[in-house]
Amino acid sequence: MKYALLATALLAAGCAAITPTAKQHFDLEAHRGGRGLAPENTLAAFNNAIDLGVTTLELDIGLTADGVVVISHDTSLNPDHTRDAGGAWLAPRSGAAIRSLTLAQLQTYDVGRLNPSSNYGKQFALQQPRDGERIPALAALFAQVQARGANAATVRFNIETKVDPGKPDETAAPEPMVRALLAEIDKAKMADRVTIQSFDWRTLALVGQLAPQLPRAYLTTPRTLKDSRWTAGLELASFASVPQMVRAASANGPGPVIWSPAYGDLSPAVIKEAQKLGLKVLPWTVNQRADMQRLMDWGADGLITDYPDILRDLMRERGLSLPPPGKTTP
């Protein structure tokens, strides 16, 4: 497999794609396609986010039994939003592992609405159902965006590899997952529009080796930072701060580097420190208007949110340049 396309395309355009200008620099990211509005990680959700107008589609990937890169946050079928071919909700804790199913088997399940009796369903009660939605292949999302032409020409993709070093049997290992992901990016000629993110920093080390110009986003929580299995062997105690740890971890590639912490872990001082080290700061998952306002005031470079409509309204109020909507709305 050749990765020359990744490097050459990104050398010219990768940095510019996320580099701030005087007015437009804020990255509006629709988490799982904007799951507060439409079923998560589905083609319907991604279409809805593009119609609304976002900078970036945030999504998660895994590998099927036949090696297809598919879009799923969960490593197993989630009963909170999955029905079988007969329309019945899966029983709790009964979902098969994504990696145990072929793409054809996986697409017999419907993920187009939330189970209203689940706590998860109650959390996103305003989500609009789209019956018939399937767990899509990443290639299908790329094809959908390309088919939309000019009205989706600027949208980016922030793709998270779902790997858990503490549960190695649940997913593909980092290297086959990264290689399969890079192959899909290369095939679709999307290298200049993709960031790869992960809590498992082994993934990002591999990206730094195989596609060094590709932007990488280092996801963190207090739990993963304290476990060196997640941080590719680095120990937090060896660094004066988390931004310094991220900067050290990212040293094996020249591409843009993003730090994506849980938003509650931030302060104005730590955001400034990270930015002085050359890191963009992109917190997740920020859903309350007050939290969005505070993080924008503190200088975050963007936000990952389930409610891109709310964040877009805030950007408009603040006079920030808005990503173009994919269609004209009344």
Q: Look at residue 129 and tell me whether its pLDDT is greater than 60.
A: yes
Q: Are strands 56-63 and 69-71 parallel, antiparallel or unpaired?
A: antiparallel
Distant-in-sequence, close-in-space partners of 271: CB < 8 Å, separation ≥ 6: 281, 298, 299, 300
- pLDDT-wise least confident of 47-51, 249-253, 309-313: 249-253
DSSP string, 212-233: TTS-EEEEE-HHHHT-TTTTTT
Stretch 262-284: mean pLDDT: 98
**To 10 degrees, the CA torsion angle through 93, 97, 101, 104?**
70
The per-residue pLDDT for range 55-103, each reduced to its tens digit, is 999 999 999 999 999 999 999 999 999 999 999 999 998 899 999 999 9
Tokens of 262: 């849980």
Q: Look at residue 45 and tell me whether its pLDDT is greater than 50.
A: yes
Stretch 101-110: mean pLDDT: 98
Q: How far apart are CA 34 and CA 18, in angstroms?
A: 20
Q: Are strands 194-198 and 156-161 parallel, antiparallel or unpaired?
A: parallel
pTM: 0.92
Residue of 252, 253, 196, 251 lying closest to 219 (CA atoms): 196
Q: Give the pLDDT band of residue 21 (cuts 50, 70, 90).
A: very low
Q: How far apart are CA 286 and CA 307, in angstroms?
A: 8
- DSSP H or E run through 176: helix 174-188
Q: Which long-range contacts (CB under 8 A, 24 or more apart) does 189-194 make?
A: 189/5, 189/9, 190/142, 190/157, 191/5, 191/6, 191/9, 191/10, 191/14, 192/9, 192/10, 192/12, 192/13, 192/14, 192/17, 193/17, 193/155, 193/156, 193/157, 194/156, 194/157, 194/158, 194/159
Q: Look at residue 304 and tell me whether its pLDDT is greater than 80.
A: yes
Q: Give the pLDDT band of residue 252 (cuts 50, 70, 90).
A: confident
Q: How far apart are CA 78 and CA 90, in angstroms?
A: 8
Beta carbons of 73 and 162 less than 8 angstroms apart: yes
What is the structure's pLDDT at 327? 75
Q: Look at residue 238 and tell me whether its pLDDT is greater than 80.
A: yes
Q: Give the pLDDT band of residue 25 (cuts 50, 70, 90).
A: confident
112 CB-contact burial (10 Å; exposed 0-12 / middle 13-18 / buried 19+): buried
What share of the chain in percent tops pLDDT 70?
92
What is the structure's pLDDT at 5? 45
Greatest Cα-to-Cα distance within the chain, rounded to the nearest angstrom? 55
Q: Give the pLDDT band of residue 313 (cuts 50, 70, 90).
A: very high
Residue of 34, 20, 16 lying closest to 301 (CA atoms): 20
User: Do you know the residue count of the chain?
Assistant: 330
Q: Look at residue 240 and tell me whether its pLDDT is greater than 90.
A: yes
What is the structure's pLDDT at 227? 98
Q: Give the pLDDT band of residue 247 (cuts 50, 70, 90).
A: very high
Q: How far apart are CA 291 and CA 14, in angstroms?
A: 29
- 3-class secondary-structure state, position 69: strand
What is the structure's pLDDT at 8? 42
What is the structure's pLDDT at 6? 45
Distance of CA 265 to the CA centre of its chain: 19
Distant-in-sequence, close-in-space partners of 171: CB < 8 Å, separation ≥ 6: 62, 63, 75, 98, 99, 162, 163, 164, 177
Tokens of 266: 């931030």
**What is the rounded average pLDDT for all residues in the chain?**
92
Q: Give the pLDDT band of residue 253 (cuts 50, 70, 90).
A: confident
Q: Look at residue 163 and tell me whether its pLDDT is greater than 50.
A: yes
Q: What are phi and psi of 2, to 5 degrees?
A: -100, 140
| Amino acid identity for residue 137 in this structure | A
What is the structure's pLDDT at 157? 98
